[in-house]
């Protein structure tokens, strides 16, 4: 008896990512334009807000959108003319990969970057990295049950700074730049 064909099922957030990307392209939306509110998008797509948010995180990783906080907060289209983002996004899309796959790639690349940095780090750079770690540990120690939005973003800013310093220390400027681009929304316009 022959095997049944593989359906190549995708996770719902990945389908939502593609739907939002298609919407942006078919509506010819430009950088800086605001998408509908999250709850409205979730309702229109027929998914939960949790599923929508997971899809939006994937689109943020690819540099397609950014989430802004505050009075003018919301989900905005980013400048997709950046060739690095386009290449990265197209590679992942053509290979049918997701933001989860990007995380897996990071798990391989980041230890190698740290290894390279370890061979040429100065005492001053090591001290700066230690200060970042101590700052985060102190913030985390003060958290009782839930983390405030401010503390979350403070820790994430330091996390980003730590990884950029590792990349710069190891003379991995492209890795540093890519890390910043992949996570730029964490530190943008808050």
Q: What is the tens place of the pLDDT at every residue in 94-122?
A: 666 666 776 777 777 777 777 877 888 88
Half-sphere exposure of residue 71: CA atoms within 13 angstroms, side-chain side: 0
Give pLDDT tens digits for 41-70: 999 999 999 999 999 988 887 778 889 888
For 72-91, what is the mean pLDDT?
66
Sketch out the chain's domains with CATH numbers.
1-95 (1.10.10.10), 98-184 (no CATH)
Distance between alpha carbon 120 and the CA centroid of its chain, in Å?
A: 28
């Amino acid at each position: 008896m022959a095997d049944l064909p593989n359906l190549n099922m995708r996770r719902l957030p990945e389908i939502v990512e593609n739907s939002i990307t298609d919407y942006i392209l078919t509506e010819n939306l430009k950088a800086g334009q605001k998408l509908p509110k999250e709850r409205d998008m979730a309702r229109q797509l027929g998914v939960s807000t949790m599923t929508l948010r997971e899809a939006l995180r994937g689109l943020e990783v690819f540099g397609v959108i950014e989430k802004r906080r505050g009075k003018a907060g919301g989900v905005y289209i980013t400048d997709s003319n950046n060739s690095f983002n386009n290449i990265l996004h197209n590679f992942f899309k053509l290979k049918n990969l997701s933001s989860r796959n990007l995380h897996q790639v990071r798990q391989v690349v980041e230890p190698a970057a740290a290894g390279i940095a370890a061979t040429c780090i100065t005492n001053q750079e090591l001290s700066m990295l230690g200060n970042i770690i101590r700052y985060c540990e102190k913030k985390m120690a003060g958290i009782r049950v839930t983390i405030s939005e401010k503390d979350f973003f403070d820790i994430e800013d330091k996390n980003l700074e730590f990884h950029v310093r590792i990349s710069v220390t190891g003379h991995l400027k492209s890795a540093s730049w890519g890390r910043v681009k992949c996570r730029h929304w964490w530190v943008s316009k808050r």
